[in-house]
């Protein structure tokens, strides 16, 4: 967990995601999970989604991926945008990797 996380841990959604991560890892082959976007920059508004970057130890089905995204949205009470680390493109991917905070 990097030091930037310490500055973010007062956010209730980030706290909740951190708490449920062990259970998620039991049910999904999660290798990496991090947050990026407005919540990392402390620029979120009531209309902001919650951006989550994820990588898996092995491939999962599109149905499981969509189910995980929906589960996170329901649990965190905010629209979650779940982004696969393997799907990142060069320019936007670099920007995401520069600001992502691993949980």
| Block mean pLDDT (10 aa), the chain, length 103 | 53 91 96 94 92 96 97 97 89 83 88
pTM recorded for the entire structure: 0.86
CA distances from 88 to 45, 50, 55, 58, 103 (A): 25, 17, 11, 17, 19
pLDDT of residue 7: 55
- Please say whether the beta carbons of 39 and 7 come within 8 A: no
Which residues constitute the domain of residue 70? 3-102
pLDDT of residue 3: 47
- Please say whether the beta carbons of 38 and 44 come within 8 A: yes
How do beta strands 30-36 and 50-56 pair? antiparallel
CATH code for the domain of 78: 3.30.460.10
Round to whole Å and give the CA distance between 12 and 55: 23
pLDDT of residue 2: 45
Residue 1 has which token pair? 């967990």
Helix axes 62-76, 12-27, angle to 10 degrees: 150
pLDDT of residue 1: 41
Round to whole Å and give the CA distance between 25 and 20: 9
pLDDT of residue 9: 62
The tally of domains found in the chain comes to 1
């Amino acid at each position: 967990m990097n030091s930037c996380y310490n500055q973010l841990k007062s956010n209730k959604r980030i706290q909740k995601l951190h708490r449920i991560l062990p259970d998620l890892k039991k049910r999904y082959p999660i290798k990496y999970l991090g947050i990026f976007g407005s919540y990392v920059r402390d620029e979120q508004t009531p209309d902001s989604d919650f951006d989550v970057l994820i990588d898996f130890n092995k491939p999962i089905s599109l149905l499981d991926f969509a189910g995980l995204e929906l589960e996170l949205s329901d649990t965190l009470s905010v629209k979650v945008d779940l982004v696969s680390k393997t799907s990142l493109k060069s320019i936007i991917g670099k920007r995401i990797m520069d600001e992502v905070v691993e949980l």
